[in-house]
Amino acid sequence: MFFTGVYTALVTPFAADGSVDFEKLAELVEFNIAGGVAGLVPVGTTGESPTLRTDEHLQVIKAVTDAAAGRCKIVAGTGANSTAEAVELTEAVKAFGVDGTLQVTPYYNKPNNSGLIQHFSAVADLGVPVVLYNVPGRSAKEIPLDVVAELAQHEHIVSVKEAAGSVQRVTDIKNLCDIEVLSGDDSLALPMIKAGALGVISVASNIMPSEVVALVAAALAGNYDEAQALHDTYAKTFDDLFIDTNPIPIKAAMAMKGMIQEVYRLPMCSTTDENKAALRATLERAGIL
Q: Which residues are annotated as catalytic?
A: 133, 161
How far is Cα 98 from Cα 71, in angstroms, rounded to an integer? 12
Furthest CA-CA distance within the chain: 50
How far is Cα 136 from Cα 186, in angstroms, rounded to an integer? 17
What residue type is 161 in one-letter code? K
For 104, phi and psi rounded to 5 degrees?
A: -70, 150
Helix, strand, coil percentages (3-state) for the chain, rounded to 5, are 50, 15, 40
**Is the four-CA dihedral 250, 256, 259, 265 of positive or negative sign?**
positive
Q: Was 46 annotated as part of a binding site?
A: yes
Q: Which residues pair with 192 in a beta bridge?
A: none
CA distances from 207 to 6, 91, 257 (A): 13, 31, 8
Q: Which residues pair with 40 in a beta bridge?
A: 8, 74
How far is Cα 239 from Cα 249, in angstroms, rounded to an integer? 10
* Crossing angle (nearest 10°) for helices 273-285 and 248-256: 60
Binding positions for pyruvate are 46, 201
